[in-house]
C-alpha cells in the first residue's frame, strides 16, 4: 500500500500565526480569555486550555477588572466586540486571519456604497456572522441557489457578492452566475483564501490518483468539510476523520494507494498520528504527492 500526502495540507499561515500568538499570550502571566474557539479543532483548543487559556462564550463571562487579555479568533468577530473589550479594559490580541480581515473590509465598503452585500457562505459559521457585523448587519447570507431565488432581487438593484474565505471556487462561481440572472449591477469580490484554493486543488488532484482518500480535520471545520466533499466528488472513496482513533482498518482492505490531506486548522501532530498508523499497516509506505 502506497501512502500519498497532499502537497498543501494542515495548518495554513493564518492558523499557525493564531496558534503561536495564543501560546505566547499564555506565558504573559495574566488571565487570557478566548472568545469561542480560536479555530475549529478540538485538539488545538484542548492544548490551549491546558496552557491556562480560558474559553468564554461571551464577554459578559469575563470577570470585571480582570486586567486580562482577550484573544480574537482566526474567524474574526463583529466590530462591537472590540468596543465591548475596550469597555472592560481588556487587552485585545487579534488573531483574525488576514483573508477574513479583507472580507470584513469589503463587506463594510460594499454596504457604504449602497449595494446589498451578499455573502456566499455557511449561515451558522462565526466567520460569516462576523462579516455580517462589519456590513452593519446589512449583508444577506446565501448558501445555495435556492437562497438566491428567494431573495426577490430587483433587476436594477446594486449587489456586491463576496465569499466566506473557505468556499469552493466552483460553488462561488455558480452562485455569482445565478445572482447575475436576477440583478444587472453585480460587483464580484474575490475573498476566497489563496491557501484554501491551493489546498482544494491539491486534494482534488490527489484524490484522482488514489483508491482511498482520508481527510483529517474537525467535524466543525468548514474548510475540512469542503475538502471531504470535493474529494468525494471525484468518485474516490473518501472519509473524514478527526483523529487516528476514527480510522477504520477495514477501509484499507484492497487499497493500493491511499491519499491523505488535512484541513487548515488540523495540527501537524494529529496528521502524523494518522500517518504513523497507515505506515504500520501491511506494505504501508508514505511519500509526498509532489515527489
Q: Which of 162, 144, 157 is nearest to 107 (CA)?
A: 162
**Is 282 in contact with 1 (CB distance < 8 Å)?**
yes
C-alpha dist (Å) from residue 261 to 45, 47, 251: 21, 22, 16
Cell numbers that stand for 115 in this block: 449595494
253: left (phi over 0), alpha (psi -120 to 50) or beta: beta
Q: Which of 16, 91, 113, 127 is catalytic?
A: 127
In angstroms, the CA 240 to CA 26 distance is 31
DSSP string for residues in 7-67 = SS-S--HHHHHHHHHHHHHHTSSS-EEEES-SSS-HHHHHHHHHTTPEEESSGGGSPTT--
In angstroms, the CA 92 to CA 90 distance is 6
Q: Which of 31, 9, 32 is nearest to 21 (CA)?
A: 32
Q: From the CB of residue 50, how many other CB atoms can be counted at a distance below 10 Å?
A: 9
**Is 168 in contact with 200 (CB distance < 8 Å)?**
yes
Is 13 designated active site? no
In angstroms, the CA 233 to CA 5 distance is 19
Active-site residue list = 127
Amino acid at each position: 500500500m502506497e501512502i500519498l500526502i497532499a502537497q498543501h495540507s494542515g495548518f495554513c499561515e493564518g492558523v499557525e500565526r493564531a496558534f503561536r500568538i495564543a501560546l505566547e499570550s499564555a506565558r504573559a502571566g495574566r488571565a487570557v480569555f478566548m472568545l469561542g474557539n480560536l479555530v475549529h479543532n478540538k485538539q488545538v483548543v484542548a492544548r490551549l486550555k491546558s496552557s491556562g487559556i480560558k474559553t468564554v462564550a461571551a464577554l459578559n463571562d469575563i470577570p470585571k477588572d480582570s486586567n486580562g487579555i482577550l484573544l480574537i479568533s482566526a474567524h474574526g468577530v463583529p466590530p462591537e466586540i472590540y468596543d465591548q473589550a475596550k469597555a472592560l479594559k481588556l487587552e485585545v490580541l487579534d488573531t483574525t486571519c488576514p483573508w477574513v480581515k479583507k472580507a470584513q473590509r469589503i463587506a463594510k465598503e460594499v454596504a457604504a456604497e449602497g449595494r446589498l452585500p451578499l455573502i456566499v457562505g455557511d449561515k451558522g459559521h462565526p466567520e460569516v456572522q462576523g462579516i455580517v457585523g462589519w456590513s452593519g448587519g446589512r449583508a444577506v447570507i446565501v448558501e445555495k441557489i435556492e437562497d438566491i431565488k428567494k431573495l426577490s432581487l430587483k433587476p436594477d438593484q446594486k449587489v456586491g457578492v463576496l465569499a466566506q474565505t473557505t468556499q469552493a471556487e466552483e460553488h462561488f462561481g455558480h452562485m455569482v452566475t445565478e445572482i447575475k440572472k436576477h440583478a444587472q449591477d453585480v460587483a464580484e469580490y474575490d475573498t476566497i483564501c489563496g491557501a484554501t484554493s491551493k489546498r482544494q486543488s491539491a486534494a482534488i488532484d490527489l484524490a484522482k490518483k488514489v483508491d482511498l482518500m482520508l481527510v483529517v480535520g474537525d467535524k466543525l471545520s468548514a474548510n475540512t468539510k469542503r475538502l471531504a466533499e470535493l474529494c468525494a466528488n471525484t468518485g474516490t472513496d473518501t472519509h473524514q476523520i478527526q483523529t487516528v482513533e476514527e480510522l477504520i482498518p477495514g477501509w484499507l482492505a484492497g487499497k493500493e494507494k491511499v491519499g491523505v490531506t488535512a484541513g487548515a486548522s488540523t495540527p501537524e501532530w494529529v496528521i502524523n498520528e494518522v500517518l504513523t498508523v497507515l505506515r504500520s499497516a501491511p506494505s504501508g509506505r508514505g511519500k509526498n504527492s509532489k515527489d
